[in-house]
Chains A and B, each alone.
Chain A
């Protein structure tokens, strides 16, 4: 049934184009409420500042945490913070799925020939969250310059790889915990423990955690790969529990595996929604 007037199914490049336009639409909508936008933007920047303020306060009292100096912790903070902020801009909208389901507006996504996750991300896009990247970005730059890193080519490559993978890890944690909303709508807060808690966790060397928690954070919810392992690799810092520094090289693979898992869980969640209604 070829119709010359229709361009047909999108393909991933086409979907990206549609995504861009839908995001633009949302930004234009938000701009109608300018004052609120500005204030929220400012508060976003400050929110990110709080975590940094905590670290600053702690290092006002001690010189090192679990063997990591202030600048080294700053590196953790920078890597995790930038990854988290970028994931926040593109993927955090998934946590709003529950609200849409409750309000009955989720069906609208199913009536359009696009992935519901894409529509959710674009439709609830919040440009102001981009403000959260600035401060961790600055901290990251300062830390990279200030710490004593032996800049071999693989280490140079590690920085963007870690950031990209870290973003994917946080993004998938968001999607995974938001999928719960399709089964029980009341437990959205449960996801916050993983996303915001996760962000908080990556700012510190995982050595601070007890042994079984460390294992959890390495093998189950691989937050250790967002900042800790890459940073240990960059700084050539031996891991007190004996993990090889090559662990950092697994980072892209880990994030890819997690992304595939998230995709499967989300699809399953949508299928469940279509079976049970709201």
Chain B
């Protein structure tokens, strides 16, 4: 059974704008426009789109904060509209921009309070706290009031807090926003481990495409409330990847190699960059290069996913 299932979900908002000095005009905005998707247990799904695309709205619909205008939402087999507390008890949510911790109290107190809020047995709770303190390296600031924590520390605390009650799925809304590189890495490795070792289902919205690349097996792209793409990262690259670059380190400097379907865009001593089109494989180009000169080392550069996604936003799905 799918952990998350959206079926023809629509979410409309009525927006009032000032038209002239005293009148107000109402218009209806479709933040989510007939989105259908399903997420199975153990998947790690990235949900991306430009600002205002409807990502946060979708997460809010899944977590019961908003109710849909039309369509059905089922999370962990229940309807968050009707059975809010049942659903919320079994999911974990982290909103990157809003804290769910108790601001003036030590982090440890937040964990303790959450045990009571979610009704977790003391032993289970202790086990979880110990595990996450270890995995997220929280020991150093467990007794610090949350308001004094750095953003990176706080985010790690929020992640632990969201998992203490053994949720069946974790929703993350922009979890790495504003973090420094080290903290981002810590969060990412943690999420990878969580998914791999505990089979945690994760739905993650983000603007950081490195997050997507590192974490997600599946990618959902949304814009103007419509789901544009439901595919894998590799699939996206394959379809939109366009040209790639094979970087070869030759045994010794060589004049620019001649390979059909590829051309050298740059040389630097024994190293040459060959750009080749999608109808060629890297292996094929390599074979032809090796036929001309001995190769010591190689690497392949993909079109960065930022470029791909930007093109999808601009051009629409292909």
Contact = CB atoms under 8 A, between A and B. Distances in A.
Interface of A: 3-10, 14, 17-18, 21-22, 25, 28-30, 32, 104-105, 107-108, 110-114, 271, 274-277
A100 to B, nearest CB: 11
A266 to B, nearest CB: 15
Contacts of B118: 6, 112-113
Contacts of B86: 9, 113
A3 B124 CA distance: 11
A7 B121 contact: yes
18 contacts: A5-B124, A5-B166, A6-B118, A7-B121, A8-B119, A18-B116, A25-B102, A28-B109, A110-B65, A110-B88, A111-B65, A111-B100, A113-B86, A113-B117, A114-B85, A274-B64, A274-B81, A276-B13
Contacts of A114: 85, 117
Given A111-B63, A111-B65, A276-B13, A5 B85 contact: no
A111 to B, nearest CB: 5
Contacts of B65: 107, 110-111, 274
By Cβ-Cβ distance, the 9 closest A-B pairs, closest first, are A29-B104, A5-B124, A7-B119, A113-B89, A113-B85, A274-B67, A110-B65, A113-B88, A107-B65
Given A5-B166, A29-B103, A275-B67, A110 B84 contact: yes
A107 B166 contact: no
Contacts of B13: 276-277
Nearest to A105: B98
B290 interface: no
Interface string B145-170: 10000000000000000000110000
B64 A6 contact: no
Most buried by A among B86, B119, B124: B119
A108 B121 contact: no
B117 A110 contact: no
A271 to B, nearest CB: 8
Contacts of A113: 84-86, 88-89, 117-119
B119 A6 contact: yes
B117 A18 contact: yes
A9 B90 CA distance: 11
Nearest to A104: B98
Given A9-B85, A28-B109, A29-B102, 7 more contacts: A18-B116, A22-B117, A29-B103, A108-B98, A271-B67, A274-B67, A277-B13
A127 to B, nearest CB: 14
Given A28-B105, A107-B65, A275-B67, A6 B117 contact: no
A105 B104 CA distance: 16
Q: A21, A32, A107, A271 — which one has the most chain B CB atoms within 10 A of its CB? A: A107
A78 B63 CA distance: 46
A75 B196 CA distance: 69
A110 B100 CA distance: 11
Contacts of B124: 5-6
A28 B98 CA distance: 22
Nearest to A271: B67
B234 to A, nearest CB: 34
Contacts of B105: 25, 28-29
B167 to A, nearest CB: 11
Contact of B60 (A6, A8, A107): A107
A107 B98 contact: yes
Contacts of B95: 107
Given A6-B165, A113-B88, A274-B66, A21 B104 contact: no
Interface string B48-70: 00000000010010011111010
Given A28-B105, A29-B105, A104-B98, A6 B113 contact: no
Contacts of A276: 13-14
A25 B86 CA distance: 25
B166 A22 contact: no
B287 interface: no
Interface string B63-107: 111110100000000000100111011000101001010111100
A14 B119 contact: yes
A118 B93 CA distance: 20
B121 A21 contact: no
B107 to A, nearest CB: 13
Contacts of A4: 121
Nearest to A274: B67
Given A107-B65, A114-B85, A3 B116 contact: no
Contacts of A6: 89, 118-121, 124, 165-166
Contacts of A111: 63-65, 88, 93, 100
B166 A3 contact: yes
A189 B70 CA distance: 35
A274 to B, nearest CB: 5
A107 B62 CA distance: 13
A32 B60 CA distance: 33
A9 B98 contact: no
A25 B117 CA distance: 12
Nearest to A119: B117
Contacts of B119: 6-10, 14, 113
B88 A112 contact: yes
